[in-house]
Structure 1
Amino acid sequence: MSDTNLTNSWWKRLAIKSKAVWLTLSGVITALSVPAWQYYVVEQANVSIEIVKIERKQRDGVQFSLDSEELKLLEPYIPALFLYEASDLGGRGDKRISPSFELSILEKAFKKATRELKLISVKQLQLDKYISELSQFIDPTNKIKKLTEFRVSDFRLWSLGSYIDDIEAKYYEDQVLALTRNYSQLTFDELHQPKINTTALRYLLLDVREDLSDAISASEKQQNRLRNNIRSIERQLSALRQQFEQQYSYFVVEVIASNRGRSDTTLYSMGLLRIVFSDNNYVDINLTLNESYQHADLPASGTETYYYRSESLMDLTAQERKLVNSYWGSRGEVQIYLLDTQQQVYSSKPAPFVGNIKQKAMLDLLKDTAHGSMVSVSGY
């Protein structure tokens, strides 16, 4: 065999062996690379988030004291439940030393006070009528309104508790009931009619008449002071309302999270809401899941709705609160940033800093379309 044939034969054998080695290596590389490709490209989570709605809510339990002479004029119109401690027996206890009230209680008291200002003349006439009627029962010469015919039903028709202390009003009713209806303690005449202690009853009615007279005097003074300060009270309540809304409010952000990947993921309960007012001018507000969960599970090929609650605006600086309150509902944009347990950060597209985001988007679309139509017409 010639040298040339030997050389060709050697190269053929080398080529066959090289091809086998190459095929083996290719198989190994392919076997190793497919799982990695599946993990990094196919089996990873692919999350997108969108802000659907932002709600501004007020904190519960915020209370204000009557720390001005004008606001103290509202006290008679606040239910006794909020002014007195509860006793061990379930009744009314001692009056609270420095009571404080939710703003809604003060606003209701103000409405009641303004209504009573309009009805003061009617109230005065009603009290004068009751005093006149009591005087007739007390007068021994009156043959029409006999003292022995006075009954507790008269008091109940008058609703004494609306004019004097309700505990004292209840005491008067109980005393009249005891004097006129406590048959076990009453004596009877020859006609089997109960003998009523008219002396005690007369003194009782005298006390009631005096209390009603005092109520008229106190009411006149109270109403005069209230009438002179009603506008000041209204301004102070308006200032409290503004303080309540601007300092003691928070945001609830509704977020839709979609996972288009083939791997489940879990979002942390924390998040960040960035409110952008202009270039390099923004405020960051911390968020937490509104539900009592540590994490939010987001399955592969799944979509979930989550609600994140912001910290109170009271926790921001005064300058940050001013910006947030100025731009809320009118200008500015927001983005939300969330983090999963793989330390992957997801952010939403910018959305208007308003309550009803979808409505704002639809209105903007209508305005843009209308503007485009006007441009087309003018260009024509």
Structure 2
Amino acid sequence: MRFDRSTLKFLLCVALLTAGIAIGYAIAYIAGASPSSVPLISSAIGLCLAFAVPIWQTYFLNAPKLSVEITSIKRTVSDQAVIALQDFPELQILKKNRRIIVQPPLLGLHDLVGRPTVETSSALKISDLDDLLNRTKQEYKDLPEKIEERRKELEEISKTNPAEFTRWDCARFNRPLSPEVEFDQDNKERTLELLQAEYKKRFDILEKRHQELQRDLPITERKLEILRDELINNRSFFTISASLINSGRTNSAIKVPALLRVVIGEGNYIDLKLSLKDFEEKSEISANGTRIVVFESSEISSLPEEDRRLINTYWGQSVRSRLYVENITSMIYQSNQIPFAEGLYQKIIYDRLAQEATLRSQKLSSTA
């Protein structure tokens, strides 16, 4: 139990007052006055009770009692970490599906290896690149059907009889074209040749794209996986969600700094410094109340190289982590111990729930 300075001064006054009474009785006894010890004992007991009751109420009965439970750990690549498409030939096939994303000047991946950063609208976050990759994979999946449709359209034009070719037919064939082919009533054969050439171009473009994706898509996936690993290892940060439960009779509040200690062996650990998000709204926990809070670390690039190497090695492994927080009266609380991995703690809870559900189902079956 820790006491603040005002309480320590209060206790010191009590001790000095009690000591003063005892010294007075000692002096009287030495002088031959033979004072009775009953008043001394009674006074001491009275003083102790008088001062102990408010202290007990303040620090025990009405004191806040916090318990901390980590609910999840998540590792995320910083939004400030971007990749410029034009810097990597393996990613060029994604450009066709690129959305126009305007971003302020940000640090690119090349900063990690000491090369100049290219500030461009094609510098995308890893989540945007994943989205582009998914759309490109879907495009590759849909291409055979589209190529077959273009082939049928091309065959239809090639089989069209010029004598039966009308302005309405020309308008129908022109529908997907831009610019359109002009209908020549006096030279329908030439009109059909121009339409066929345009449809052949559209067919060839799709076939070429299909061949390109068939050849390069696996290379793009592999390169993107390498870049993702680099960003995770160098430009990621941790988000820890926790429940703060106050079972005491008075409100409490926690401070912004917190610590996540990852124990990887006997006397070997990593400390991640955290900060409480939305401090103004989330720091206070009411009496008999619960608060869900989120802590964030800085990018792991700010850590010493050895700590960064250990984090990248043991993230997702069978090591344990524990959260430490401090309230405004400098009381420190520790959380439950959970695996240093994303989603593993939730899996443990799901397993417990499934086990309990099975037990209860068996009980219901046995009583039926």
TM-score w.r.t. structure 1 length? 0.62
Asked whether 1:235 is paired with 2:222, we answer: yes
Paired with 2:255 and 2:261, the residues of 1 have a C-alpha distance of 17
Instruction: Check the 8 A contact 1:276/1:332 in 2, yes or no.
Output: yes
Deviates more, 1:15-24 or 1:316-325: 15-24
Asked whether 1:38 is paired with 2:61, we answer: no
CA 1:130 to 1:245, structure 2 compared with 1: closer, same or farther past 3 Å?
A: farther
Alignment equivalent of 1:128, drawn from 137, 149, 154: 154
Asked whether 1:254 is paired with 2:241, we answer: yes
Tell me the residue number matched to 2:363: none
Tell me the residue number matched to 1:103: 129
CA 1:34 to 1:199, structure 2 compared with 1: closer, same or farther past 3 Å?
A: farther
Quote the offset at 1:18 in angstroms.
6.5
Tell me the residue number matched to 1:274: 261
Tell me the residue number matched to 1:27: 46
1:28-65 deviations in Å (ceiling 9; x for gaps): 44323432343344343332322233344455575433
Alignment equivalent of 2:319, drawn from 312, 332, 357: 332
Instruction: Check the 8 A contact 1:45/1:262 in 2, yes or no.
Output: yes
Match of 2:165, SS state, is coil
Identity of aligned residues (%): 23
Asked whether 1:304 is paired with 2:291, we answer: yes
Match of 1:266, SS state, is strand
Match of 2:272, SS state, is strand
Structure 2: 5+ residue runs without aligned partners? 1-28, 104-118, 355-368
RMSD of aligned Cα (Å): 4.3
1:285-314 deviations in Å (ceiling 9; x for gaps): 232334453651123344433232333445
Spell out the pairing of 1:289-300 with structure 2 (5 A cutoff).
289-291=276-278, 293=280, 296-300=283-287
Structure 1: 5+ residue runs without aligned partners? 1-10, 86-95, 161-168, 177-195, 367-380
CA 1:215 to 1:60, structure 2 compared with 1: closer, same or farther past 3 Å?
A: same
Instruction: Check the 8 A contact 2:151/2:203 in 1, yes or no.
Output: no
Paired with 1:276 and 1:219, the residues of 2 have a C-alpha distance of 55
Tell me the residue number matched to 2:348: 360
Match of 2:274, SS state, is strand
How many residue pairs align between the two structures? 303
Spell out the pairing of 1:1-380 with structure 2 (5 A cutoff).
19=38, 23-24=42-43, 26-57=45-76, 59=78, 63-66=82-85, 67-76=87-96, 78=97, 81-82=99-100, 99-101=122-124, 102-115=128-141, 118-119=144-145, 122=148, 125-126=151-152, 128-129=154-155, 132=158, 136=160, 142-146=162-166, 148-150=167-169, 152-156=171-175, 159-160=176-177, 169=178, 171-172=179-180, 198=185, 209-291=196-278, 293=280, 296-317=283-304, 319-354=306-341, 355-357=343-345, 359-360=347-348
Instruction: Check the 8 A contact 1:43/1:261 in 2, yes or no.
Output: yes
CA 1:244 to 1:31, structure 2 compared with 1: closer, same or farther past 3 Å?
A: same
Paired with 1:255 and 1:320, the residues of 2 have a C-alpha distance of 24
Quote the offset at 1:20 in angstroms.
5.1
Instruction: Check the 8 A contact 1:74/1:113 in 2, yes or no.
Output: no
Deviates more, 1:205-214 or 1:347-356: 205-214
TM-score w.r.t. structure 2 length? 0.64
